[in-house]
Amino acid sequence: MRKPIIAGNWKMNLTTKDAVELVTALKRDLADVTTVDIIVCPVFTVLDTVNDVIMDTNIGLGGQNLYWENSGAFTGEISASMLKDVGAEYVIIGHSERRQFFGETNETVNKKIKAAQAQGLTAIVCVGEVLEERESGKTQSVVQTQCEGSFAGLSADEMKQLIIAYEPVWAIGTGKTATPQQAQEVHAFIRAWLKQQFSDDVAQTVRIQYGGSVKPGNIKELMTQEDIDGALVGGASLKSASFVDIIKNC
Ligand code: PGA
């Protein structure tokens, strides 16, 4: 049985005061939750402060990106060991906004996954098609190409340690959620691909989150789908009330 996992992707939002306020509320309102893994992914500048608030609670900490080198002359970048240093256990890799605005490719995603795993971070790896690809019937081939490139060279054991987030790009921040059936179809496709490429054990172990306009009102139905193991939540993770409700409804 895969444990549900809900992660809040704060994107480029919240400075220190608001971040502390939010996680303080989450810590209070989610203290009794044991059946769902809960993660928040703040901006780099507040990771340390947020870590102080959630240390020794049931809320885990993640970064939103990293660079694959460990240290050196890479102005503006941050490494896996630096994320570890401030208490992160997770890191989002290959978010569609990074692919779209910052030149992320399947190849760089692959390097980043390996760097994250070398430091013991759990990678949350995002895949998903844009609207035009969905409308022209290319969803599965796009997702397959992203999986093939992103997970190239990983062993079955390494694969089992990561989390996949299926995020149809057309559903991100648009209020347009994929229907539970549309999401399930792609999740099942990814799981079948994992089985074929690695093993049934890998396919049954890897948790696949759905992301794209997840709200308190649609999480329940999404979670009834066999292959949906949680959610990567953007907008609705910025308010404690909606993030708490998503977790409680899931
Ligand atoms: P959204 O973002 O929930 O605001 O659609 C999800 C994401 O980009 O991870």
Please identify, by atom number, the ligand 1 atom nearest to the C-alpha of residue 9. Answer: 9
When the pLDDT of each residue in the chain is averaged and rounded to a whole number, the result is 97
To the query of whether residue 95 is one of the catalytic residues in this protein, the response is: yes
Digit-coded pLDDT (tens) for 13-49: 999 999 999 999 999 999 999 999 999 999 999 999 9
pTM: 0.98
Confidence of residue 76 (pLDDT cuts 50, 70, 90): very high
Q: How far is the CA of 212 from the centre of ligand 1 (A)?
A: 5
Confidence of residue 1 (pLDDT cuts 50, 70, 90): confident
Query: What's the pLDDT at 175?
Result: 84
Mean pLDDT of 201-215: 97
Query: What's the pLDDT at 230?
Result: 98
Does the beta carbon of 94 lie inside 6 Å of ligand 1? no
To the query of whether residue 167 is one of the catalytic residues in this protein, the response is: yes
Does the beta carbon of 120 lie inside 6 Å of ligand 1? no
Does the beta carbon of 93 lie inside 6 Å of ligand 1? no
Domain locations in the chain as residue ranges: 5-249
Whether the pLDDT of residue 154 is over 90: the answer is yes
Query: What's the pLDDT at 31?
Result: 98
Query: Of 23-32, 172-181, 197-206, which range is least confident?
Result: 172-181
Whether the pLDDT of residue 166 is over 90: the answer is yes
Query: What's the pLDDT at 42?
Result: 98
Whether the pLDDT of residue 176 is over 90: the answer is no
CA nearest ligand 1 atom 9, residue = 234
Query: What's the pLDDT at 243?
Result: 98
Whether the pLDDT of residue 156 is over 90: the answer is yes
Does the beta carbon of 172 lie inside 6 Å of ligand 1? yes
**Which pair of tokens denotes residue 57?**
């609670």
Query: What's the pLDDT at 65?
Result: 98
Share of the chain above pLDDT 90, in %: 97
Q: Specify the CATH number of the domain 5-249.
A: 3.20.20.70
Confidence of residue 64 (pLDDT cuts 50, 70, 90): very high
Whether the pLDDT of residue 120 is over 90: the answer is yes
Confidence of residue 87 (pLDDT cuts 50, 70, 90): very high
Query: What's the pLDDT at 177?
Result: 84
